[in-house]
Structure 1
Amino acid sequence: MTRALIVIDMQRGFDDLEFWGATANPDCEANVAALVQAWTTAGEPIVVVRHDSASPASPLHPDQPGNALVRAVAAVDPALFVTKNVNSAFYGDPDLGAWLSAQGIRELVICGIQTNMCVETTARMAGNLGYDVTVVLDATRTFDLEADVAGLGIVTQTASELMATTALVLQAGGFAKIDSTAGMLAG
């Protein structure tokens, strides 16, 4: 079975903690770089996804320097480069699903930013579309989140709590397996 590494939104704008807030997993970028190196060495396909925010105030807007990919991912010659402005990489350009189908790829290994947003949404869609999905949790990261939720009041979760919740929901819900970088590299 052919597999692909899907690297989601590893962009410099996510280093702007004044905009995003507190984060977890400072090893994310190094772990993504290790996965990219392993896939490159094995000659397996890498898909790089970039979020092009429609909001001019976002660090991820195409006119902002934060739209650029982090060094380890910018150096990749991807099999496919997808741009998107929503959470799921399946709603980007070019069409990820069509490309995967044309390549006969049924196994996806997903990493990147944000764990509970674009990574989770892409993994859920991939699982629903019948792909064999693994999310490499320590090769993701996210940010603390707070919102006034109807019926619940102010709800706050730390980035670490959100990562754990995402892992639980994806695995227990049957959307994806959860693994670590070391586990993927050993397997």
Structure 2
Amino acid sequence: MSRTALVVIDVQESFRQRPIWAYGSNPDIVGQVNRLVAAARERGDLVLWVLHAEPGSGGVFDPALGHVRLIDGLAAAEGEPTLVKTAHNAFTTTNLQQLLTLAGVHDVTVCGIRTEQCVETTTRLGSDLGYRTTFVTDATMTFPIPHRDLPETAGPAEILGDPRTLSNEEILRRTEYALAGRFATVRTVDEVTGASLSGARS
């Protein structure tokens, strides 16, 4: 029988250390992820946690600063693997695929931070590797994307005040359009958790 895995990507303290955190798309990211995790555990699905690290960078993703950990309110249960990646997708620099293979997983549900970056990239690669993927948009989070010509030192006020900035709403919409019917089934937390309660598969 095919087994499902829930992969929770980069819902970590690193992001809360950035000023742009206050302008994120999903203030309830912890609550939404916890709903998916509870449903997955109830079903007996595999739950895997992924963190992003940039060792030696001196930034918020440098493990030496102590922010490469799950945001308060999230916790891995005993036996749930926590993987640390150094690439955008969760496969390339970890043994995620090996863990999924050993567990007999063919269906992968993906959530986390950031919607269009690590979560979308993992979804695309997972699909290319042959997994049936589900992308739970309202259990992801993203932030306004500045135009490429804006200085990297730009703060939230400058980013939000630039008419070229891509808004959270635009990012979510574009990501769903790009993934649906090609790389993933796009679903909501209510749909996934409701399916689990009724005995249907995601």
| TM-score over 0.5 (shorter chain) | yes
Instruction: Name 2:168's counterpart in structure 1.
Output: 159
Instruction: Name 1:46's counterpart in structure 2.
Output: 47
Q: Tell me, in whole angstroms, the C-alpha distance in 2 between the residues paired with 1:178 and 1:89.
A: 19
How big is the shift at 1:51? 0.5
How big is the shift at 1:180? 0.6
Q: Tell me, in whole angstroms, the C-alpha distance in 1 between the residues paired with 2:45 and 2:34.
A: 15
Q: Which moved more, 1:41-50 or 1:17-26?
A: 17-26
Identity of aligned residues (%): 30
> Kindly tell me: are residues 169 and 78 of structure 1, through their superposed partners in 2, closer, same or farther at Cα, counting changes over 3 Å?
farther
Q: Tell me, in whole angstroms, the C-alpha distance in 2 between the residues paired with 1:43 and 1:15.
A: 31
Q: Tell me, in whole angstroms, the C-alpha distance in 2 between the residues paired with 1:170 and 1:54.
A: 31
Q: Tell me, in whole angstroms, the C-alpha distance in 2 between the residues paired with 1:155 and 1:54.
A: 32
CA deviation digits over 1:90-119, x for unaligned, max 9? 0133x1112211221000000100001100
Conservation of the 8 A alpha-carbon contact between 1:45 and 1:78: no
Alignment size in residue pairs: 181
How big is the shift at 1:21? 7.0
Could you list the runs of 5+ residues in structure 1 that have no partner in the other structure? none
Superposed, 1:86-125 pairs within 5 Å as 86-93=87-94, 95-125=95-125
What TM-score comes out, normalization by structure 1 length?
Answer: 0.88
> Kindly tell me: are residues 56 and 126 of structure 1, through their superposed partners in 2, closer, same or farther at Cα, counting changes over 3 Å?
same
3-state SS, counterpart of residue 49 of structure 1: strand
How big is the shift at 1:75? 4.1
Superposed, 1:115-154 pairs within 5 Å as 115-148=115-148
> Kindly tell me: are residues 21 and 140 of structure 1, through their superposed partners in 2, closer, same or farther at Cα, counting changes over 3 Å?
same
How big is the shift at 1:147? 2.6
CA deviation digits over 1:12-70, x for unaligned, max 9? 12123416673112122110011111122222210110101235332121012321211
Matched, 1:26 2:27: yes
3-state SS, counterpart of residue 148 of structure 2: strand
Matched, 1:184 2:185: no
Q: Tell me, in whole angstroms, the C-alpha distance in 1 between the residues paired with 2:96 and 2:177.
A: 26
What TM-score comes out, normalization by structure 2 length?
Answer: 0.82
Q: Tell me, in whole angstroms, the C-alpha distance in 1 between the residues paired with 2:77 and 2:169.
A: 28
Q: Tell me, in whole angstroms, the C-alpha distance in 2 between the residues paired with 1:142 and 1:64.
A: 23
How big is the shift at 1:124? 0.3
Conservation of the 8 A alpha-carbon contact between 1:148 and 1:155: no
Higher strand share: 1
CA deviation digits over 1:70-92, x for unaligned, max 9? 13333433532211011010013
3-state SS, counterpart of residue 144 of structure 1: coil
Could you list the runs of 5+ residues in structure 2 that have no partner in the other structure? 150-162, 196-202
Conservation of the 8 A alpha-carbon contact between 2:55 and 2:64: no
